[in-house]
Amino acid sequence: MGNCVFENVAMTSSSDRFEHVKAIILSCHEDTSAEEKMRFYDAWAKSYDQDLSVLDYRAPVISANALSSHFTGDRNTALVLDVACGTGLVAKELRSLGFSRFVGVDGSSAMLEMAKNAGLYEDVKQCILGSQPLPFQHGTFEAVIIVGALSDGQVPVKVVRELCMLTKPGGFTCLTTRANRDNLAYKNSLEEELRSLEQQALWRRVQTLNVDQWERAVSHHEHGYISGVVYLFQRL
């Protein structure tokens, strides 16, 4: 994995810019170690928000709205765990919907620095999801949300149980994944784990939201937009 995708290239058109972002996205899904991935995200942090805008990445808005539409608690006091928080895109959307207390966790120190500078989080923690246990007590958060990270080559499905356990009884866990061809095997494994936790009466399914236009397609065999899914569960 080289850093060449992050070089400042003079873009002559929006299509050139999109091709540049495509190269970044495809690189981030390469089969590399967790540590290499974190170095990748460290290098990406400064241009991350701008690049996702080029991708027309809608997941933070859609997911925040899904959580907000079912949340009945006090938004001023509810503590929200933003998992794989990146630069803070999800917290920014949730704040616009009345939530005000956020804790962020991410594997990338550079992303966490950007998130910290955004002034959205009471605290941020560094943790490589799937390689290290999340550094929080069970039943701590009124809401736990993870957007964009549950996909092939990123965060392993086994992390979902941890997210469930960190949610307070009565609280909500919001998760997303992509539904394009390249991610279908992962999506099937994820849904199997979600059902398993339902069968164990750890949570109940509140909503499954299928979204046709999730983000612009970046793989070589896809065009237009790919689809995605938001899952919302309530802890029992």
Domain boundary among 54, 69, 87: 54
Q: Which of 35-44, 116-125, 131-140, 183-192 has the lowest mean pLDDT?
A: 35-44
> Do 103 and 8 share a domain, yes or no?
no
Same domain, 16 and 63: no
Element (H or E) spanning 228, and its range? strand 225-235
202 and 135, same structural domain?
yes
Could you tell me if 83 and 44 lie in one domain? no
Evaluate if pTM is beyond 0.95: no
Instruction: Give the model's pLDDT for residue 3.
Output: 44
Q: How confident is the model at residue 92 (pLDDT cuts 50, 70, 90)?
A: very high
Asked if residue 121 and residue 21 are part of one domain, the reply reads no
Alpha-carbon dihedral sign for residues 127, 94, 99, 151: negative
pLDDT in tens, 29-48: 776 888 888 999 999 999 99
Please tell me whether residues 126 and 209 are part of one structural domain. yes
SS3 85: coil
Percent of the chain whose pLDDT exceeds 90 = 81
Indicate whether 2 pLDDT > 50. no
Please give the residue range of the domain that contains residue 39: 4-54
- Strands 225-235 and 203-216 come out as antiparallel
Q: What is the pLDDT of residues 150-200, one digit of tens each?
A: 999 899 999 999 999 999 999 999 999 999 999 999 999 999 999 999 999
Alpha-carbon dihedral 96, 99, 101, 104, rounded to 10 degrees: -60
Q: Report the distance separating Cα 174 and Cα 169, nearest Å.
A: 14
**Pairing between β-strand 79-83 and β-strand 141-146 as defined by DSSP bridges:** parallel
Residue 65 and residue 174 share a domain: yes
Please indicate, yes or no, whether residues 120 and 223 belong to a single structural domain of this protein: yes
Could you tell me if 74 and 20 lie in one domain?
A: no
Separation of alpha carbons 116 and 109, rounded Å: 10
Same structural domain for residues 69 and 107? yes
The residues, any chain, with a CB within 8 Å of residue 38's CB and separated by 6 or more, are 107, 108, 109, 128
Does residue 59 have a pLDDT over 70? yes
Strand, helix or coil for residue 142: strand
- How is residue 61 written in tokens? 């808005």
With beta carbons less than 8 A apart as the criterion, state whether 195 and 170 touch.
no
Identify whether residues 50 and 63 lie together within a single domain: no
Indicate whether 8 pLDDT > 60.
no
Average pLDDT of span 4-13: 51
* CATH number for the domain that contains residue 208: 3.40.50.150
Count how many domains the chain has. Answer: 2
Instruction: Give 221's contacts (C-beta < 8 A, 6+ positions apart).
Output: 181
160 and 190 part of one domain = yes
C-alpha distance across the termini of the chain, in Å: 43
Mean pLDDT of 94-109: 98
